[in-house]
Amino acid sequence: MSKAFASQADLEEKKVSFTKLSEHAYAYTAEGDPNTGIVIGDEAVMVIDTQATPVMAQDVIRRIREVTDKPIKYVVLSHYHAVRVLGASAYEPEHILASEDTLSLIKERGEQDKASEIGRFPRLFRNVESVPAGLTWPTMTFTGKMTLWLGKLEVQLLQLGRGHTKGDTVVWLPQERILFSGDLVEFDATPYAGDAYFSDWPQTLDNLAALKPEKLVPGRGAALENEAQVAAGLAGTRAFIADVFASVKSGAAAGKDLKSVYRETLDTVRPKYGHWVIFDHCMPFDVTRAYDEATQHRDPRIWTAERDIEMWKALES
């Protein structure tokens, strides 16, 4: 292989920010590493995406305890990826909430995804031995919409369409117009699209925009704290997905093989997006999935640790 597999060479720790967005909402961000959202209600706390291990989750808990002593009753999984869910046990929540589609993905491919992700990005699974045996399972699921009241604070869990995965859930605070998007939106960070629905993702972003959020916590990147920043986050994600898929579809329609399409797509999009966090990590997975969708696989195939390595060797050798 001509370069280190995925993000195995990424060992530099990132600076964490804990940003207050309102009396009820905070964003835990780390320079392009996976974000965690926090909602503080009248009597309880909700955490959105958990960090990758219970040890890593302890830093989130420490920061929550700097602003409230209310119990953490709810954990929301925006989707099924291991880096988002395996820290859940640290919070000792009463309920772990996810969409029914996310539950089905955990059942279908959770074990393979866990092994795949840990192999790709070891720094994000610090103290992986702290993860309990088995998978993180939701205790409560929903389809379409679920509304919770944390005292007087309304919290909506919404499925607004497929994009990053088929099970994507966003958390919406309608009274404050604050949105936690999960990996449907990234900011100055490359969207990972290995399990994506490229054809659906732009419309799903339109559905997010229709909520008219004034602040938004993306899956990666800094919290977006005004409408202009929110618009930029939505537009940037949309443009990347559209540009990658257009390039791949063009190559596939011309009968070119995956490696040729990958090289052409890299050349096409690198000038615009190559400075984004984890660009080199994501692109082989993104183009492979886009090529699948443009040819014969409407639904994403399961990534395994073995398939990851085979794909990387084929495209990066």
Q: Report which of residues 13 and 73 the model is more confident about.
A: 73
In this predicted structure, the answer to whether residue 1 has a pLDDT above a threshold of 50 is: no
Task: Give the global pTM.
Answer: 0.95
Q: What is the mean pLDDT of residues 223-247?
A: 98
Angle at 137 between CA 123 and CA 126, to 5 degrees: 15
In this predicted structure, the answer to whether residue 8 has a pLDDT above a threshold of 60 is: no
Cα–Cα distance measured from residue 197 to residue 241, given in angstroms and rounded to the nearest whole number: 10
In this predicted structure, the answer to whether residue 15 has a pLDDT above a threshold of 70 is: yes
In this predicted structure, the answer to whether residue 188 has a pLDDT above a threshold of 90 is: yes
Q: What is the mean pLDDT of the chain?
A: 95
Asked whether 40 and 26 are in contact (CB, 8 A), the reply is yes
Say whether 147 sits in a helix, a strand or coil.
strand
Q: Which of 121-130, 193-202, 287-296 has the lowest mean pLDDT?
A: 121-130
Say whether 129 sits in a helix, a strand or coil.
helix
Closest Cα partner for 45 from 92, 100, 79? 92
* Token reading at 124: 């994000």
CATH of domain 17-316: 3.60.15.10
Strand partners, 75: 47, 96
Helix segments in the chain, DSSP class H: 54-65, 82-85, 100-120, 201-210, 227-253, 258-273, 279-295, 305-316
